[in-house]
Amino acid sequence: MTFLELKDLRIHFPSDDGLVKSVDGLSFRLERGKTLGIVGESGSGKSVTSLGILGLHKGGRAKISGEIWLDGEELVSASAEHVRTLRGKKMAMIFQDPLSAMHPFYTVGAQIMEAYRIHHDVSKKVARKHAIEMLDRVGIPQPDRRVDSHPHEFSGGMRQRAMIAMALSCDPELLIADEPTTALDVTVQAQILDLMRDLQRDFNAALIIITHDLGVVAELSDDILVMYAGKAIEYGTAEDIFERPEHPYTWGLLGSMPRLDRERTERLLPIKGSPPSLINVPSGCAFHPRCVYADRTGGRSTSDVPELLESEGGHLVRCHLSRDVRRAVWENEIKPNLEAS
Amino acid sequence: MTKKSAAAVVAATAALALGLTACGGGDGGTKKTEGGNSGASAAKDVANGALEAVFNPSDKKGGTLKMAVSEDWDSVDPGDTYYAMSWNLLRIYGRPLVTFNPGAGAKGRELVPDLAESLGTPSDGGKTWTYKLRAGVKFEDGAAITSKDVKYAVLRSMDKTTLVNGPTYFNDWLDLPKDFKSVYKTPDVNTDQAIETPDDQTIVFHLNRPYGGFDYFAALPGTVPVPKAKDDGVKYRDHVVASGPYKFEKVEAGKQYTLVRNENWDPATDPIRKALPDRYEISLGVNADDLDNRLIAGDLHVDVAGSGVQPAALSRVLSDPAIKARTDNPTQARTWYTSIIGDVPPLDNIDCRKAVIYAADRVGLQNAYGGEFAGGDIASSLMPPSIGGWKKLDLYPTGTGDVEKAKAALAACGHPDGFETNMAYRADRPKEKATAESLQQALAKAGIKLTLKGYPTSDYFALYAGKPDFVKKNSIGLATNGWGADWNDGFGFMSQITDSRTIRASGGNYNLSVKNPEIDALIDKAYVETDTAKRDALWGEVDQKVMENAYVLPSVYAKSVMVRGTGMTNVAVSGAWDMYDYLNLGVA
Amino acid sequence: MTAPLDPTAPAVVAAPSGLPAGTIQGRSLGQIAWMRLKRDKVAMGGAVVVVLLILIAIFAPVLVGWFGHPPNEFHQEMIDPSTMTPKGGTGISGDFLFGVEPLNGRDIFSRVLYGARISLLIAFFATLLSVVIGTVMGVVAGFFGGWVDTLISRAMDAFLAFPLLVFSLALIGVLAQFETSLAVKGDTLRILLLIFVIGFFNWPYIGRIIRGQTLSLREREFVDAARSLGARGPYILFREILPNLIAPVLIYATLLIPTNVLFEAALSFLGVGIPAPTATWGGMLSDAVKYYTVPHFMFFPGMAIFITVLAFNLFGDGLRDALDPKSSR
Amino acid sequence: MVTYIIRRIIGAVLMLAVVSMVTFAIFFVVPRAAGATADDFAARYVGKSATEETVGNLADRLGFNDPVVVQYGRWVKGIVAGAEYDTGAGVENCPAPCFGYSFISHQPVWNDLLDRLPVTVSLASGAAVIWVLAGVATGVLSALRKGSVFDRAAMGIALAGVSLPVFFTGIVSLVIFSYGMGITAPGGSFTPITENPAEWAYNMILPWITLAFLYAAGYARLTRAGMLETMGEDYIRTARAKGLPERTVITKHGLRAALTPIVTIFGLDFGLLLGGAVLTESTFSLNGVGKFAITAILKNDLPQIMGVTMLTAFFVVAANLIVDLLYAVVDPRVRLA
């Protein structure tokens, strides 16, 4: 049995301007001990997806359909209260920007203890000991002292470590990290990514990393899902995505990825245009207004919505361009450019 | 006014009938009076029932008389007070040498001896007045009251920098030695040339000029005895030592006074007081509208102020016959008027002043003060009818304004198109504001343009309308004014507001506009005239001159709509105060 | 409101990326705000009432000419001579739309209309005064910082420590003593005095807000950018900071107007407003209290204050939502 | 922390000194500049028909002939060291802190103020309890049910509440509930809570509700806005992600943060009210500090005006200080330095 499976998940928000289709028919699977990277621009629906898995849209105005299977349980139809008991214990989340994600008025220790005690009937003393252990485990020096500090007294990296400690405090089986390193500087980023890799191994958890930064997923992920306008547009192993990407948008992402080995003066290759409206999604392929190769689809890009089709060995792509064209463009136009630079 | 007289007659008859049919007296009353009522069954309510006769007479003792007032008065210290309600009330705890006969109407204007055995004996052509004190009168602490206590009380009341509130008659008339400043500053100066106390029962007053009406002075609260040992100046108000039938149990400034029986008061020494209730509870600072409501509902007996109900209650009182039957509507010895100030051109011209009076809407002015019942009758003179010597003057029309005559007068004074001037009024007095607004409207029709200027009551006379250089600098041609008699004779009413020699440059004047040597001369004549009828006639002449010269525009002879609380006995509107006489009220 | 209503809703809806890509280009902040405002029916209702009130104030003499009587004209014939209350209770009729005042029979309709003039005049100009002083002080304090900031901030603290109402009452009394030495007198003097007192004591509220905004603007990137390009103080102040203060100034000015309407009414109610016979709402209420048994007398001026203040508040709230959707207070 | 408090207290005293100087200047210097003489100042303290000599003597005795600086110095000295006042019949001792002596009420101003303070404290605290409870509860419920019928109705009423002048609501409620139905006290009376708590509450209930209505409306709006803002914060999402029950999320995480700014505003409002709820006290004829201030102004009783201004300023400054300290306790991010 698959540990986590999403089937045709849709999360829509009614607004004054119309229905915002933040997630529009998303499916994927994830096994224990594996890491999935979800990549996309802001607004592509990746964060909404993660919050949807945690059940945080329940009771709000969101319209949710589809299925989320976690360890044999369906969560979309489950009661909000039941999903709540799973949150923190069975599945936990690491948020970006730990300064705003942690309550400014409570000590770091108290916030970890709170998460632990909600799911474990233990005394404050035991919980505190556990909190110190967790802080120690994520590599915070002098954890018995730092446990009584407030978030604002921590450095950025320390805060993210504390955030991770909080998420891991109940041994979750599914861990979702939403842009875990965005707010950090480069050296600290590396440390945090290392830490997460180590911890995942120790806990044997399923990990979802959500980011707009392909560099991050490159380090950690087994599989990568690229999202655009609420839909998956490409899915494959890390190797598929980095070595044989087939979607023009993925090419764009790779082109805009900063690399440590590149010269600073070189210009990145940004994707032209801005992300689409989620209310009036462009007709046909949602990416077509920004797609340089739209004219090679024979006009289908504006009329038909492309299917997510298997290209080869589990590598899925949502594109009107034929596989051959895609491969040719990648090999001849994109890849040399990226490597040359 | 025939209607009112008829009502009064009915009321008097009703009261008389009750008096005749009622049997039995009060329990423990010292004497039976003709008005004895068992008290259990109250008299039938009749409008104006207490105006000319005692309403619901009774000798029944006991109970608590509940009084209230919306604003505190100046002081309960007899030597430091200038409010009619206070002068009326203080006689329950203090005994002046002479006082007004407790009773309804004209009877209440009679002077009767109180602490003294008899009214004063004049000698030296009215320059010396002698009083003999009753024997056996005591302070609340049991100490005997002597003439020295009276002398001390009078002298202390003359220190106007300490006890600032009271009248200054003694200051003006007693023959004081030059080096006497005050009992506090110069306690050792011999003052026998002003007041002699040859023995403990005798007190002799020496005036600096003859005065026939000195008994009125002797009736001032200043003659209520004060023990020198207990006097600490302005603080004495917190612990006034009683000489009357009641003493203070509790003094809470601004909140409440409670008075209980003074065991050292001997009814045998006091022929005028009945001393019926066991207790007086006087609440201060009560919301004025609430006070009216409680009075109407019967939770309160008396509004101490005695100035009648508020406008809000008026319509209710007058439109409900049951409540109206509990009202009295006396005319007071008070005139509301507007001073026409000749210092300010073009009002220095008599015709311009007359134009103001002609143009004024006299009905509008009456309404401004509250209409025929709550305001009063339209006044045609400065002096009100209850003052001796009053005669009806008919110098000006009293309708809604005579624009033609006003224009003719304006032409005569050389301003045929009218003129502009300012009018001062007390901003926190709605009736005076209404007066100013009414005049502004009416005078505009004749071309006289008024700009209204409201000033705070507290400083109105001291710094604004009563200060000549302010008046001139700000061209204040008209100023609302009002005067109530200190006592009901021409002197008591007119001397402070028509004698130009009382006007001081430093301010604080009440006479804002009457400046005429002829009038001053008449006043001098009246001062020394010992014959009452002739004296009254002189004051009447003063009144006429004031009106002829158009120094004032009278609005109304003040009236008030007072509500009798339920269950009160011995209710009478005193002719001395034109409010309920507080001396002999009882509770059924 | 187009901001997300659901606390768990994705930020993407509010972010510009959530808006239709085509609509965002070529529109200024003002246009966007106007779009938002137009959609806010309640705010627009408030705005319509505000405009109506202003028109009523301006055309009060005309309206009174058509539907009423001169505001200070007595109508003694409407008054019961014994109780001094209007005949028939209120005196409301086609001739006197809101009835007449007790005692003198003045037309309440006309007086309420004329009251709008005083009320709005004073509220507007007092607000203007507060905004001018507050903005200048706030910008100076926030922009220059240092001892200037300390001095102005302390001054604002001191101002806020004064018992505003009590102090205004006393101050008006004291200043009125100057009357003869001034060129203007009568109503004009009092109106100026009230504008001065109300406006002068309210500036620290605006001042604090503007100072805070200036401080944060000064630290923002675009100012840094301008500075790095060699822009000088005055340029930054006038081209970068002041334009960005227009929105908060507009919002708080709109919200200060109703406060000032209430303040003027309170002063008039306590008897230090415009002198008689000029009609003011607070003054009418103060008179009406004495005639509470004739309730229509207090009803109309009371409602006039209520409607005016409510309308400005509604409009101000809407304006804030439109100009500054993040602060959804 | 201690040095911070000391510094703030010194600052507060300086602030009060400035307020006192400005007040003094307005009431003593400005009228003089306008041409008022010492006798004019004294004139309001004498009774009817006082002679020029009397006024002159009084002006001397009250010290109006001294230079203004000397008069101010005397006033300040009174606060620090007490003062003695010549009442004519002797010397009245006015112990420190002596904020002047009223020659109209013949009381040290301080005594008068202390006398009035229980009324104002009762009014302010009773109203505060009502408005905080009602306002915060309404605001929280509205925020949690944003857009619901309850929210719309509550916010509509709240907006009406802040748009009605308190003297209007006060009179209307007096006319309806006291004069009309007779179920509430008609104003004007005050019973200390120590004497009779039931009567105390009966007398105060209408003023409380009237005053509280105004403030509750404002607080409901503030709380709602604060709550909406807070519930949109990332840390609320974190709290939910931890699996906390919604109730805990709202109270422990949401309300705590949302109420912090309200505490600040409450402190300032309450401080200001302690200095006298002028309009409410006038409307209900309550003899509190506010009515005292109005009466002092009407009577032009300068020592009383000075005293009441200082008392109000004191409460505001003290409230500021307390709020800042409290803020540091509530919000650990705030550093006192």
In Å, how far is D224's CA from the nearest CA of chain A? Answer: 18
Percent of chain B topping pLDDT 70 = 93
Cβ-nearest to B507 among D43, D45, D107: D43
Interface test with B, best of C77, C83, C169, C174 (most B CBs within 10 A): C83
The span from the CA of B251 to the CA of B271, in Å, is 28
Given a cut of 70, whether residue C328 has pLDDT beyond it is no
Residues of A in contact with D253 (CB under 8 A): 103
**pLDDT given for residue C16 in this prediction:** 36
Tokens matching residue D197: 């708590």
pLDDT in tens, B489-502: 888 899 889 999 88
Chain C contact for D236, CB < 8 A?
A: yes
Please indicate whether, in this complex, the C-beta atoms of D43 and B167 are within 8 angstroms of each other: no
Higher pLDDT, B363 or D2: B363
Given a cut of 70, whether residue C1 has pLDDT beyond it is no
Count how many domains chain C has: 1
Residues of A in contact with D244 (CB under 8 A): 84, 88, 114-115, 118
Q: For residue C127, what is the domain's CATH number?
A: 1.10.3720.10
Given a cut of 60, whether residue C12 has pLDDT beyond it is no
Please indicate whether, in this complex, the C-beta atoms of A60 and C7 are within 8 angstroms of each other: yes
Please indicate whether, in this complex, the C-beta atoms of C291 and B312 are within 8 angstroms of each other: yes
Banded model confidence at residue C325, pLDDT cuts 50, 70, 90: low
The span from the CA of D209 to the CA of D229, in Å, is 29
- Which residues neighbour C214 within 8 Å (Cβ) at sequence distance 6 or greater? C138, C139, C141, C142, C143, C241, C245
Range of the domain at C308: 48-65+108-323
Please give the span between the terminal C-alpha atoms of chain A, in angstroms, as a whole number.
Answer: 45
Banded model confidence at residue B131, pLDDT cuts 50, 70, 90: very high
Residue of D nearest to B460 (CA): D44
Interior angle at CA A330, CA A324 and CA A333, nearest 5:
115
pLDDT in tens, C141-167: 988 888 899 889 888 888 877 777 877
**What is the number of CB-based contacts under 8 A between chain A and chain D?**
72
C-alpha distances (whole Å) from B375 to each of B364, B480, B555, C78, D55 are 11, 15, 9, 18, 35
Residue of A nearest to C12 (CA): A43
pLDDT in tens, A41-57: 877 888 889 888 988 88
Residues of B in contact with D187 (CB under 8 A): 287, 290
The span from the CA of B403 to the CA of D214, in Å, is 51
**pLDDT given for residue C29 in this prediction:** 67
State chain A's mean pLDDT as an integer. 84
Residues 121-180 of chain D with CB under 8 A from chain C are 146-147, 159-160, 162-165, 167-168, 171-172, 174-175, 179
Identify whether the C-beta of residue D174 lies closer than 8 Å to the C-beta of residue D283. yes
Tokens matching residue B64: 């608590």
SS3 for C93-123 is CCCCCCCECCCCCCEHHHHHHHHHHHHHHHH
**What is the number of CB-based contacts under 8 A between chain B and chain D?**
123
Please indicate whether, in this complex, the C-beta atoms of B371 and C81 are within 8 angstroms of each other: yes
**pLDDT given for residue B142 in this prediction:** 93
Given a cut of 50, whether residue C25 has pLDDT beyond it is no
**pLDDT given for residue A235 in this prediction:** 92
**pLDDT given for residue B421 in this prediction:** 94
Between B297-301, B391-395, D25-29, D167-171, the lowest mean confidence (pLDDT) is in D25-29
Between A208-217, B568-577, C210-219, D29-38, the lowest mean confidence (pLDDT) is in D29-38
Please indicate whether, in this complex, the C-beta atoms of D231 and C7 are within 8 angstroms of each other: yes
Interface test with C, best of D15, D167, D250 (most C CBs within 10 A): D167
State chain B's mean pLDDT as an integer. 87
Given a cut of 90, whether residue B94 has pLDDT beyond it is yes
**pLDDT given for residue C11 in this prediction:** 34
**pLDDT given for residue B202 in this prediction:** 95
Tokens matching residue C219: 């630290």
**pLDDT given for residue A243 in this prediction:** 86
pLDDT in tens, B362-387: 999 999 998 889 999 999 999 999 88
For residues B477-499, average pLDDT = 89
The span from the CA of B37 to the CA of D20, in Å, is 63
The span from the CA of B255 to the CA of D287, in Å, is 9
Closest by CA position to A39, among listed A213, A208, A197, A178: A213
The span from the CA of C198 to the CA of C127, in Å, is 8
**pLDDT given for residue B357 in this prediction:** 95
Low-confidence stretches of chain A (pLDDT beneath 50): 262-267
**Which amino acid is located at C301 in the chain?**
P
Closest by CA position to C261, among listed C299, C196, C306: C306
Given a cut of 90, whether residue B347 has pLDDT beyond it is yes
Interface test with B, best of C87, C103, C185 (most B CBs within 10 A): C103
**pLDDT given for residue D18 in this prediction:** 86
**pLDDT given for residue C177 in this prediction:** 62
Residue of D nearest to A51 (CA): D241
Higher pLDDT, B56 or C180: B56
Interface test with C, best of A10, A12, A19, A20 (most C CBs within 10 A): A20
**Which amino acid is located at B165 in the chain?**
N
Please indicate whether, in this complex, the C-beta atoms of C266 and D290 are within 8 angstroms of each other: no
SS3 C293: coil
Domain locations in chain D?
Answer: 2-109, 113-325
Please indicate whether, in this complex, the C-beta atoms of C271 and B427 are within 8 angstroms of each other: yes
Query: What pTM, to 2 d.p., does this model score?
Result: 0.84
Domain locations in chain A?
Answer: 244-340
Please indicate whether, in this complex, the C-beta atoms of C276 and B374 are within 8 angstroms of each other: no
Residues of C in contact with D26 (CB under 8 A): 170-171, 174
Enumerate the β-bridge partners of residue A316: A235, A310
Given a cut of 80, whether residue C236 has pLDDT beyond it is no
Does A contact B via 3+ CB–CB distances below 8 Å?
no
Given a cut of 50, whether residue D131 has pLDDT beyond it is yes
Interior angle at CA B267, CA B262 and CA B272, nearest 5:
110
Given a cut of 90, whether residue B113 has pLDDT beyond it is yes
Residues of D in contact with C292 (CB under 8 A): 171, 174-175, 179
Given a cut of 50, whether residue B53 has pLDDT beyond it is yes
Please indicate whether, in this complex, the C-beta atoms of D279 and C269 are within 8 angstroms of each other: yes
DSSP-derived pairing of the beta strands A315-318 and A231-237: antiparallel
Interface test with A, best of D144, D236, D238 (most A CBs within 10 A): D238
Given a cut of 50, whether residue C250 has pLDDT beyond it is yes
Given a cut of 60, whether residue C2 has pLDDT beyond it is no
Give the containing element (helix H, strand E) for A11.
strand A4-15
ipTM: 0.82
Banded model confidence at residue C57, pLDDT cuts 50, 70, 90: very high
Residues of A in contact with C2 (CB under 8 A): 15-17
Higher pLDDT, B131 or D317: B131
SS3 B327: strand
The span from the CA of B504 to the CA of A292, in Å, is 101
**pLDDT given for residue B20 in this prediction:** 35
Half-sphere exposure (Cβ direction) of D203: Cα atoms closer than 13 Å? 23
Closest by CA position to D103, among listed B70, B458, A328, B398: B458
Higher pLDDT, B496 or C133: C133
The count of other CB atoms within 10 Å of the CB of residue D336 is 15
Between A131-135, B306-310, C232-236, D21-25, the lowest mean confidence (pLDDT) is in C232-236
Residues of B in contact with C102 (CB under 8 A): 311
Given a cut of 60, whether residue B32 has pLDDT beyond it is no
Residue carrying structure tokens 């009416």:
B442
The span from the CA of D304 to the CA of D295, in Å, is 9
Please give the span between the terminal C-alpha atoms of chain C, in angstroms, as a whole number.
Answer: 12
The span from the CA of D288 to the CA of B394, in Å, is 51
**pLDDT given for residue B19 in this prediction:** 36
Residues of D in contact with A116 (CB under 8 A): none
In Å, how far is D271's CA from the nearest CA of chain A? Answer: 26
Cβ-nearest to B164 among D50, D52, D90: D50
SS3 B55: strand
**Which amino acid is located at D4 in the chain?**
Y
In Å, how far is B558's CA from the nearest CA of chain C? Answer: 14
Backbone angles phi, psi at B94, to 5 degrees: -135, 145
Please indicate whether, in this complex, the C-beta atoms of C276 and B452 are within 8 angstroms of each other: yes
Please indicate whether, in this complex, the C-beta atoms of A48 and C4 are within 8 angstroms of each other: no
Please indicate whether, in this complex, the C-beta atoms of D188 and B496 are within 8 angstroms of each other: no
Interface test with B, best of C82, C106, C182 (most B CBs within 10 A): C82
Cβ-nearest to C74 among B310, B433, B441: B441
Percent of chain C topping pLDDT 70 = 82
The full DSSP string for B338-376 is: EEE-TTSTTTTSHHHHHHHHHHS-HHHHHHHTTHHHHTE
- Torsion, Cα D92 D95 D96 D102, to 10 degrees, reads -40
Cβ-nearest to D19 among C161, C266, C270: C161
The count of other CB atoms within 10 Å of the CB of residue A187 is 9
In Å, how far is C231's CA from the nearest CA of chain D? Answer: 34
In Å, how far is A234's CA from the nearest CA of chain D? Answer: 28
Interface test with B, best of C69, C72, C73, C74 (most B CBs within 10 A): C74
Enumerate the β-bridge partners of residue B98: B113
pLDDT in tens, C282-295: 999 988 888 888 88
Give helix D149-163 / helix D109-144 axis angle, nearest 10°: 150
For residues C174-189, average pLDDT = 67
Banded model confidence at residue C10, pLDDT cuts 50, 70, 90: very low
The span from the CA of A199 to the CA of C66, in Å, is 84
Given a cut of 50, whether residue D211 has pLDDT beyond it is yes
The count of other CB atoms within 10 Å of the CB of residue D226 is 25
Tokens matching residue D234: 């990332």
**pLDDT given for residue C40 in this prediction:** 83
Residues of D in contact with B82 (CB under 8 A): 47-48
**pLDDT given for residue B130 in this prediction:** 95
Write down the H helix ranges in D174-196. none
Identify whether the C-beta of residue B572 lies closer than 8 Å to the C-beta of residue B374. no
C-alpha distances (whole Å) from D217 to each of A20, D204, D209, D223 are 35, 20, 12, 10
Provide the CATH number for the domain formed by D113-325 in this structure. 1.10.3720.10
Half-sphere exposure (Cβ direction) of B98: Cα atoms closer than 13 Å? 24
State chain D's mean pLDDT as an integer. 85
Give the containing element (helix H, strand E) for B252.
strand B246-252
Tokens matching residue D169: 């609501």
Chain A contact for C1, CB < 8 A?
A: yes
Residue of A nearest to C13 (CA): A20
- Which residues neighbour D21 within 8 Å (Cβ) at sequence distance 6 or greater? D72
Which DSSP category does B39 fall into?
A: S
Banded model confidence at residue D261, pLDDT cuts 50, 70, 90: confident
